[in-house]
Amino acid sequence: ANAVAQFIEALVDKQLKPPMSLTAARGRGKSAALGLSIAAAVAFGYVNIYVTSPHPENLITLFEFVLKGFDALEYQEHADYTIIRSTNADYKKAIIRINITRSSRQTIQYIAPSDTHLLNAADLLLIDEAAAIPLPLVKKMIGPYLVFMASTINGYEGTGRSLSLKLISQLQKDNNARPPLKLEESIRYQENDDIEKWLINLLCLDASTVPSISSGCPTPDACELYYVDRDALFSYHKAAEAFLHRLVS
């Protein structure tokens, strides 16, 4: 609720601000927060709203909560808005556009991360799973409009804590962005749930950044080559688990 409130506060202000980012582990409600913020943006009169993500299927939850927001605003499908779904078989009929006609023409449009040239008329851009998009593309998408973004710091989207932190650090450096909003409470599990902890450990979802080499690559004579036994690597031994965590970070 706090994240949505802060997004709405920025929408009400309607002043150009540095990008606002939201981070959390998977299943904390990031996409839902973005979706409700989009519904609020429509209510506040934002005309050209763009949404991007590595793939339209990443936005299923986001659009679900856009529609829940419309329900709360008493918008009626067909009377106040129409939904357009993709005809691309790879996108599995994912929503790619919503046209709103209640009081004036407004649009919520999905674009691919590479389609930055379509943002010339944008009033608001939302980037879901931002850390899964190459950093140069994310930086290219930043423009003279409000930007909200969400990143998974661990999860199945392939983003990871290190990439999320790198993205946020770069935005703070280049765009004077504020520290990210955070969602801590899980929607799917109780607090400190043992099953969630087991899944995180099993899939190495909490892999963090390993300190980088200070200058260049090590010399060959400083390296050692090892043959790793597959059974030992996946033996669930504590040392093997620590190595796997370093490998995927």
> What tens digit of pLDDT does each residue of 91-127 get?
888 999 999 999 899 999 999 999 999 999 999 999 9
Same structural domain for residues 33 and 154?
Answer: yes
Strand partners, 198: none
Distance CA 39, CA 70 (A): 6
Q: What is the pTM of this model?
A: 0.75
Contacts of 230 (CB under 8 A, 6+ apart): none
Judged against a pLDDT cut of 60, whether residue 4 lies above it is answered with: yes
Same structural domain for residues 111 and 230?
Answer: no
Same structural domain for residues 94 and 204?
Answer: no
CATH assignment of the domain containing 140: 3.40.50.300
- 3-class DSSP state for residue 120? helix
Same structural domain for residues 134 and 210?
Answer: no
- Indicate if the alpha-carbon torsion angle 35, 195, 130, 118 is positive or negative: negative
Same structural domain for residues 123 and 227?
Answer: no
Judged against a pLDDT cut of 70, whether residue 248 lies above it is answered with: no
Range of the domain at 180: 2-193
Cα 204 to its chain centre, rounded Å, is 19
Same structural domain for residues 22 and 133?
Answer: yes
Nearest to 186 by CA among 5, 32, 4, 21: 32
What's the confidence (pLDDT) of residue 65?
96
Distance CA 22, CA 51 (A): 15
Average pLDDT over residues 70-84: 97
The highest-confidence range among 147-161, 165-179, 212-226, 228-242, by mean pLDDT, is: 228-242
Distance CA 6, CA 37 (A): 9
**In the 8-state DSSP scheme, what is residue 44?**
T
Number of domains in the chain: 2
Distance CA 37, CA 123 (A): 13
What's the confidence (pLDDT) of residue 207?
58
Same structural domain for residues 205 and 243?
Answer: yes
Same structural domain for residues 92 and 205?
Answer: no
**Which residue in this structure is represented by tokens 């009377």?**
79
Same structural domain for residues 227 and 131?
Answer: no
What's the confidence (pLDDT) of residue 158?
46
175-190 pLDDT tens trace:
676 777 888 777 677 7
Judged against a pLDDT cut of 70, whether residue 159 lies above it is answered with: no
What's the confidence (pLDDT) of residue 244?
79
Judged against a pLDDT cut of 60, whether residue 213 lies above it is answered with: no
Q: Which two tokens stand for residue 18?
A: 């540095």
**In the 8-state DSSP scheme, what is residue 26?**
T
